[in-house]
Chains A and B, each alone.
Chain A
C-alpha cells in the first residue's frame, strides 16, 4: 500500500522523506476503485477538467476585460473582434459554464440514483452541495460582467431577492450594490469575487476528493467492498483511461457548441448594452438556473418565493438524513427507482416552465412541480425509505458474475443485517 511506499531513486527518497508528494501520487495511482464503475462515474474527472478550463480561460479573459460600467460592454466586443483568438477563449469560457453545469447535474443525479450521498459519504455530498452553491454564485456574477441588458437586469432581479428580508432587506441590497441600484460599484465587486470564487471551489474540490478517498468510491450495486480485492482495480491505468475517453466524448459535444452554436445557450438581449431605464420584455436566467427561477415565480408572495427558492437548494444538504434506506443503489429499490425518474421529469418540467412566461398553464405546472419537488424530499423519501421492500443485494461485485446464479444462502437482505 501507498503508506509504506519507498521511492526507488535516492533523490526521490530524500525528497519524499521531507515532503511526501511521491507517496501522495502513489496513493492516487494505486487507489483501489470498484471495477464495475460505469460511465456515469466519469463525470468527476470531467468536472475537474471543466473547472481547470474555466480558470485558465478566465485568467486570460481577465487580461483583456475592463471592469467598469462604461467600458465593460465594449471590452467584451474588443475581446471578440481584436484580441487574437479572443472569440475562441470567450466562447470556451461562456459555453464552458453551461457544460460545467450540464456535467454537475449529471453528477448529482448519478449520486441520487446510486445513493452515493448515504453513509459513510455524507460529508462528500455536503461538500459537493457547497461546491454547487459556489458554482451558481460564480456563474451568476460572471454573467453580469459583460454588462449587457440580461446582465444588468439579471443582477437587479437576483440581488433584489434579498430585499424580501424583513427590516434589513433594503440595507442589505444597498450594501450588495454599493449604491442605490446596480451600477459600477456592483460590477467591480462582482468581477473581484468572480475571480476569487473558482479558487474557493478548487479548495472545496480538493476536500471533496479527499473525503472520497477515505471510504472509496460508491459503485453501481452500492455495496461496501473490500479494498483492495478482486472487486477493485487500481485507478491508474484502468480509470484514468476510461475517464479520458469519456472526457474526449464530452469535449466533442463541448466543441460542437463552441464552433457551431456558440450563442445558442445565451440570450440575444445580452448583446445590447445595459440600460437602467429599460427592462427587457422577458427576463430569464441562464438555463441552468431555470428550475429555481420557476420555483421562485410559482409563489405569489415575494418573501415566500424567496424562502422557497433557497429552501429548494438547502433541502438537498439534508438529503442523507431524509432518505434512511440502508440500500444505496436504486437498482435494488424498485419503488425508489420510479420516484427517481419522476423527480428527473419534475426538475426538467420546472426548467421548461422557468423559461416560459409566468401565467396560465405554465404557472399551474410550475406550482404542481414545485409542490412535488418538496414532497419528494420531505414526504416521499422519508416514508419510502422505511416501508420499501428492497431486492436482495449481492455480497460482492464479483460473486454474481463468477458464481452464475447467486446462491440464496449467499444473499443477504437489507432487512436483516446490512
Chain B
C-alpha cells in the first residue's frame, strides 16, 4: 500500500531542517580545529624587517631572514645588470622584465627560495651566472629568473621599500 506523499511533508521538513542545522553546526565546530593550524597572530606580527645595506660591496649579497624565509639582497655589478636587462623575454620560461623586478637596478631584493620545492639556491653558480639550486638543479639568472630546470617560476620579489639610501624595509 502506497502512503500518500503529502502525509510525510511535515516530517520531511523536520528531517531536512535537522540535517541542515546539524551539518552547519558540525562545520562550525570543525572550522576552529582546522583554522588553528594557519599562521597565528604572533607569526603574522613579524611581518616587516629593516635591513642596513650600507656595508654591501658591488657584486656581493647578504641573506636576511624575513618571516622565517631567507631574503637575498644583492648589490649587482654593472655587467650583471646589463646581462639581466639585455635578455629577450622570449627566452624566459616565466617572462618578467628586470626593470619590473628591481626597483633600483643596482639592488636586487628577492626571496631566496627556489620556486620548485623551497630549497635555498647558491649564489654565483649555475649556467646563467645567477643562482643554482642544488636540490633539483634549477638555474636562475642575474635577475633571479628561472632559466633551466624544474622550478616553474622566477624567484619571488617581496614587498619592499627604500627608507633611505642605506636602509631597506622588507614587508
* Chain A interface (Cβ < 8 Å from any Cβ of B): 153, 156-157, 159-161, 163, 174-183, 185, 189, 276-283, 297, 299-303, 305, 357-359
**What sequence of 0s and 1s flags, for each residue 108-143 of chain B, a beta carbon within 8 Å of any chain A beta carbon?**
000010001111110000000000011111000000
Contacts of A153 on B, CB cut-off 8 Å?
A: 119, 135
A143 to B124, CA, bound (A): 32
Contacts of A276 on B, CB cut-off 8 Å?
A: 65, 68-70, 120
Going nearest first, the 10 A-B pairs with the smallest beta carbon separation are A181-B68, A160-B118, A180-B67, A160-B117, A279-B119, A279-B120, A157-B117, A156-B118, A183-B68, A179-B43
A418 to B112, CA, bound (A): 62
CB distance from A289 to the nearest CB of B (A): 14
Which single member of B63, B134, B152 contacts A282 (CB below 8 Å)? B134
Contacts of B27 on A, CB cut-off 8 Å?
A: none
**Identity of the chain B residue whose Cβ is nearest the Cβ of A156 in the assembled complex:** B118
**What sequence of 0s and 1s flags, for each residue 41-72 of chain B, a beta carbon within 8 Å of any chain A beta carbon?**
00100000000000000000001010111100
B38 at the interface (CB under 8 A from A): yes
For the residues of B in contact with A, the DSSP-based class is: loop
Are B38 and A301 interface neighbours, CB within 8 A?
no
Given contacts A175-B38, A183-B68, A282-B134, 15 further A-B contacts (CB under 8 A): A153-B119, A156-B119, A161-B117, A163-B118, A174-B38, A176-B37, A178-B37, A178-B39, A189-B37, A283-B135, A297-B136, A300-B149, A300-B150, A301-B150, A303-B152
Are B116 and A180 interface neighbours, CB within 8 A?
no
CB distance from A47 to the nearest CB of B (A): 31
A146 to B25, CA, bound (A): 39
**Identity of the chain B residue whose Cβ is nearest the Cβ of A176 in the assembled complex:** B37
Are A302 and B40 interface neighbours, CB within 8 A?
no
Given the interface contacts A157-B135, A180-B39, A282-B134, does A277 sit within 8 Å of B152 by beta carbon? no
**What sequence of 0s and 1s flags, for each residue 135-168 of chain B, a beta carbon within 8 Å of any chain A beta carbon?**
1110000000000011110000000000000000
Given the interface contacts A277-B70, A279-B120, A281-B134, does A302 sit within 8 Å of B39 by beta carbon? no
Contacts of B137 on A, CB cut-off 8 Å?
A: 357-359
Are A302 and B67 interface neighbours, CB within 8 A?
no
A301 to B119, CA, bound (A): 16
CB distance from B159 to the nearest CB of A (A): 13
CB distance from A70 to the nearest CB of B (A): 13
Could you jot down 10 A-B contacts, CB within 8 Å? A156-B119, A157-B118, A160-B117, A175-B37, A175-B38, A179-B39, A180-B39, A279-B120, A299-B150, A302-B117
Contacts of B112 on A, CB cut-off 8 Å?
A: 277
A183 to B38, CA, bound (A): 13
Are A302 and B116 interface neighbours, CB within 8 A?
yes
A179 to B43, CA, bound (A): 6
A185 to B41, CA, bound (A): 12
A300 to B148, CA, bound (A): 10
Which residue, A160, A182, A189, has most C-beta atoms of chain B within 10 A?
A: A160
CB distance from A309 to the nearest CB of B (A): 11
Given the interface contacts A189-B37, A277-B63, does A179 sit within 8 Å of B119 by beta carbon? no
Are A279 and B135 interface neighbours, CB within 8 A?
yes
CB distance from B62 to the nearest CB of A (A): 10
A177 to B68, CA, bound (A): 11
Contacts of A301 on B, CB cut-off 8 Å?
A: 150, 152
Contacts of B150 on A, CB cut-off 8 Å?
A: 297, 299-302, 305
Are A279 and B134 interface neighbours, CB within 8 A?
yes
Contacts of A157 on B, CB cut-off 8 Å?
A: 117-119, 135
Given the interface contacts A278-B120, A279-B120, A283-B119, does A180 sit within 8 Å of B152 by beta carbon? no
Contacts of A159 on B, CB cut-off 8 Å?
A: 118
Are B135 and A179 interface neighbours, CB within 8 A?
no
A276 to B37, CA, bound (A): 21
A302 to B118, CA, bound (A): 12
CB distance from B126 to the nearest CB of A (A): 13
A160 to B133, CA, bound (A): 15
CB distance from B120 to the nearest CB of A (A): 4
A159 to B118, CA, bound (A): 9
A163 to B136, CA, bound (A): 16
Contacts of A359 on B, CB cut-off 8 Å?
A: 137
A189 to B39, CA, bound (A): 12
**Identity of the chain A residue whose Cβ is nearest the Cβ of B68 in the assembled complex:** A181
Contacts of A181 on B, CB cut-off 8 Å?
A: 67-69, 118
A281 to B119, CA, bound (A): 10
Are B117 and A180 interface neighbours, CB within 8 A?
no
Contacts of B117 on A, CB cut-off 8 Å?
A: 156-157, 160-161, 163, 302
**What sequence of 0s and 1s flags, for each residue 76-114 of chain B, a beta carbon within 8 Å of any chain A beta carbon?**
000000000000000000000000000000000000100
Given the interface contacts A174-B39, A301-B150, does A180 sit within 8 Å of B69 by beta carbon? yes
Are B38 and A178 interface neighbours, CB within 8 A?
yes
Which residue, A161, A163, A185, A305, has most C-beta atoms of chain B within 10 A?
A: A185
Contacts of A163 on B, CB cut-off 8 Å?
A: 117-118
A180 to B136, CA, bound (A): 22
